[in-house]
Amino acid sequence: MRRSTDRILVSHAGNLPRPDELNELIHGGLVRDLSLSKDYQERLPKAVRWIVERQAEIGVDIVNDGEYVKAGSYGGYMQDRVSGFETRPADPGKPPKRAGTAERDRRDFPGFFASGLWFAGSGGPVRPGFATPGEVRQLGAQVRVCTGPVKYTAHEAIKADVANLKAAIAGKDVEGYIAALGPLSLGAGVANEHYRTEDEYMMAVAEACREEYKAITDAGLIVQVDEPEFCTTWMFYPDWDVSQYRKYLEWAVEILNDSLRGLPAELVRFHTCWGSGHRPHVNDIELRHIADLMLKINATQYSIEAANVRHEHEYHVWDDVKLPDGKMLMPGVIAHATDLVEHPELVAERIVNYAERVGRENVQTGTDCGIGSRVGHKEVVWAKLAAMVEGARIASKRLWRR
Q: Are 373 and 71 in contact (CB under 8 A)?
A: no
Distance of alpha carbon 177 from alpha carbon 55, whole angstroms: 13
Alpha-carbon torsion, ordered 353, 319, 296, 188, to 10 deg: -70
Q: What is the pLDDT along the chain (402 residues), one digit of tens a residue?
A: 999 999 999 999 999 999 988 888 877 766 777 777 888 899 999 999 999 999 999 999 999 999 999 876 777 899 999 999 999 998 888 889 999 888 999 999 999 888 766 554 444 444 444 444 444 344 447 899 999 999 999 999 999 999 999 999 999 999 999 999 999 999 999 999 999 999 999 999 999 999 999 999 999 999 999 999 999 999 999 999 999 999 999 999 999 999 999 999 999 999 999 987 778 999 999 999 999 999 999 999 999 999 999 999 999 999 999 999 999 999 999 999 889 999 999 999 999 999 999 999 999 999 999 998 888 899 999 999 999 999 999 999 999 986
Distance of alpha carbon 110 from alpha carbon 108, whole angstroms: 6
27: left (phi over 0), alpha (psi -120 to 50) or beta: left
Task: For residue 361, give the nearest of 351, 348, 349 by alpha carbon.
Answer: 351
Q: Where are the domains of the chain?
A: 9-399
Distance of alpha carbon 31 from alpha carbon 240, whole angstroms: 37
Report the predicted TM-score, pTM, of the whole model to 2 decimal places.
Answer: 0.94
Residue 109 Cα distances to 115, 235, 280, 287, angstroms: 10, 14, 8, 23
Distance of alpha carbon 49 from alpha carbon 164, whole angstroms: 8
| Domain 9-399 in this protein, CATH class | alpha beta
Looking at the chain, how many residues does it have?
A: 402
Please state the φ and ψ torsions of residue 228, each to the nearest 5 degrees: -60, -25
320: left (phi over 0), alpha (psi -120 to 50) or beta: alpha
Task: For residue 300, give the nearest of 10, 1, 79 by alpha carbon.
Answer: 1
Gyration radius of the chain over CA positions:
20
